[in-house]
């Protein structure tokens, strides 16, 4: 009877503990929803079971279509986990070895010293998106597909950036090549392979690889990549239509292997359960995949943890990011980024807690995913920031009323710290947006006004004078531009941009 009573007390305590966490999660996401602080979906699980899920904002601002739990997101670089899994499945079946040279499977590949392991661990030294710059300059409307990577590598006519295995250098080209290797070995298309050997076994019925030009490349449930193109814009726009993002989001939208796995948060939970239960790979291979890579010098590659905030360290395995956090231990996963979209997947190895987060618009993504992990561990989330950008409000005042009114309002915004935050770096971005991204009559004067104010707001920062000098020169005020460049170099004599500008002006 005594043991029964103790058991009942323990169960009651655990239930109260879980209820406290549920209350914290609900309060956090209710606040996010009420203040429209997150466009996208989040799912949190523990021991394979969903703890909490949230969907907010818009899948497409232009049409008013809202995000739902059925919304499908491009995983961006989380897709690399699936590519790595395909390669490791073939290795487990003895159809390849990780130490095999890439040339064994892709004879046209021009670098015989690079192995499959180098591709998996981003230690190949190959060029990334810069590989495609020349062809896009020549054919601005072209969309780069996997078919062109080998011919362009042969035209590269340069050595790898370093001896393969010496350094870690994140590179999407590696995973395009891995997708081509899967196709060469299996004789099937890469999307077909993933569907048959990963998506279907894991029960991922709402997941596919988006193939450019196919009928479902833009399905109705797939969310848009949405950005506010400049600091003076108040409306979200499809990122593929914005000039400054054209190269990465239009010209380079078709690669499969590094990106373009489309899925839901629920399907990603299914993948997590299948992967770590050994349903897709041998458990010994799973352990190998999440072991930190060692460089040629025998040292493990280590950097600061990415996406998750805090003092943790980050490493890389075979397609997996590895996180080690003081007080929490080891987790694995991957992040993904495209302009107008960010994704994050995290699996804590000891607690089996999982954070899956996708956003396609407004968010404070690093803070949001870190808070989710804290709340799963019964810690307080990071404080939500409801403040508006004083710079965006200033931009609106400048455009709609004029410089004098905007300057007055900026002073008021900066003192109203309960409702606004101010950042001179944002002010600098706004100046450049007016200078180079805006075609409205008066944009050059708006730029000058913005940069000028910033020199008074941040007088100890060499960069504000450098930027103001650039705008003055563009507007034809050469002598004043020189004065600003000299002031910039007085504060920072080794400023690369300042020295370059002065040399161009024939003064150095």
d(CA 230, CA 145): 29
Contact between 186 and 180 under an 8 Å Cβ cutoff? The reply is: no
| Residue found by looking up tokens 């996708």 in the block | 358
Using a cut of 0.75, tell me whether the model's pTM lies above it.
yes
Per-residue pLDDT of 455-467, as tens digits, reads 999 999 999 999 9
Question: Residue 508 above 90 pLDDT?
Answer: no
Contact between 317 and 334 under an 8 Å Cβ cutoff? The reply is: no
Mean pLDDT, to the nearest integer, of 210-231?
89
Mean pLDDT, to the nearest integer, of 212-228?
88
Write down the domain spans for the chain.
74-376, 423-504
With vertex at residue 211, the alpha carbon angle to CA 207 and CA 216, rounded to the nearest 5 degrees, is 65
What is the side-by-side strand order in the sheet with 49-56?
49-56, 40-46, 353-359, 341-348, 329-338, 321-325, 313-316, 303-304
| Residue found by looking up tokens 């298309």 in the block | 189
CA-to-CA separations, 91 to 117, 281, 284, in angstroms, rounded: 11, 10, 12
**Domain 423-504 class in CATH:** mainly alpha
Per-residue pLDDT of 183-213, as tens digits, reads 999 999 999 999 999 999 999 999 999 999 8
Question: Residue 151 above 60 pLDDT?
Answer: yes
d(CA 21, CA 348): 18
Q: Which alpha helices (H) appear in 128-282, and where do they start and end?
A: 133-138, 149-156, 172-186, 190-194, 200-202, 265-276
* CATH superfamily of the domain spanning 74-376: DD-peptidase/beta-lactamase superfamily (3.40.710.10)
State the pLDDT confidence band at 272, using cuts at 50, 70 and 90.
Answer: very high
Do 74-376 and 423-504 have matching folds? no
Instruction: Return the pLDDT at 3.
Output: 44
d(CA 485, CA 481): 6
Nearest CA to 250 among 258, 259, 238, 261? Answer: 238
């Amino acid at each position: 009877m005594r043991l029964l009573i103790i058991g009942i007390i323990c169960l009651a305590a655990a239930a109260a503990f879980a209820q406290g966490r549920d209350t914290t999660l609900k309060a956090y996401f209710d606040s996010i929803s009420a203040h429209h602080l997150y466009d996208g979906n989040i799912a949190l699980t523990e021991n394979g079971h969903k703890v909490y899920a949230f969907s907010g904002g818009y899948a497409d601002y232009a049409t008013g279509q809202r995000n739902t739990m059925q919304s499908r997101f491009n995983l961006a670089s989380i897709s690399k986990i699936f590519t790595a899994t395909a390669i490791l499945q073939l290795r487990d079946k003895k159809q390849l070895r990780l130490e095999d040279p890439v040339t064994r499977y892709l004879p046209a590949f021009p670098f015989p010293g690079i192995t499959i392991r180098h591709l998996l661990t981003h230690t190949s030294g190959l060029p990334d998106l810069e590989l495609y710059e020349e062809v896009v300059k020549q054919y601005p409307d072209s969309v780069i597909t996997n078919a062109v990577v080998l011919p362009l590598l042969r035209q590269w006519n340069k050595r790898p950036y370093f001896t393969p295995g010496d350094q870690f250098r994140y590179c999407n080209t590696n995973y395009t090549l891995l997708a081509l290797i899967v196709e060469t070995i299996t004789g099937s298309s890469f999307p077909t392979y993933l569907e048959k050997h990963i998506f279907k076994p894991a029960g991922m019925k709402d997941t596919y690889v988006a193939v450019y030009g196919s009928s479902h490349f833009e399905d109705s449930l797939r969310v848009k990549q949405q950005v506010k193109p400049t600091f003076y814009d108040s409306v979200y726009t499809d990122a593929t239509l914005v000039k400054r993002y054209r190269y990465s989001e239009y010209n380079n939208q078709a690669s499969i292997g590094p990106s373009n796995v489309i899925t839901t948060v629920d399907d990603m939970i299914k993948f997590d359960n299948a992967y770590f239960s050994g349903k897709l790979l041998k458990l010994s291979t799973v352990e190998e995949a999440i072991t930190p890579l060692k460089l040629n010098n025998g040292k493990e590659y280590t950097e600061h943890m990415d996406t998750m905030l805090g003092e943790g360290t980050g490493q890389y395995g075979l397609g997996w990011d590895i996180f080690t956090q003081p007080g929490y231990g080891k987790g694995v996963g991957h992040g993904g980024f495209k302009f107008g979209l960010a994704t994050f997947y995290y699996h804590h190895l000891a607690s089996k807690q999982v954070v899956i987060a996708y956003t396609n618009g407004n968010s404070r993504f690093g803070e949001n995913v870190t808070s989710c992990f804290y709340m799963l561990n019964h810690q307080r989330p990071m404080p939500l920031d409801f403040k508006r950008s004083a710079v965006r409000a200033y931009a609106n005042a400048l455009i709609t009323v004029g410089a004098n009114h905007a300057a007055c309002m900026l002073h008021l915004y900066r003192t109203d710290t309960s409702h606004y935050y101010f950042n001179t770096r944002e002010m600098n971005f706004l100046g450049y947006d007016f200078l180079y991204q805006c075609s409205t009559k008066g944009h050059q004067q708006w730029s000058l006004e913005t940069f000028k104010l910033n020199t008074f707001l941040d007088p100890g920062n060499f960069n504000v004078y450098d930027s103001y000098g650039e705008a003055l020169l563009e507007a034809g005020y050469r002598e004043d531009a020189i004065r600003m460049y000299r002031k910039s170099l007085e504060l920072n004599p080794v400023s690369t941009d300042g020295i370059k500008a002065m040399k161009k002006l024939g003064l150095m």
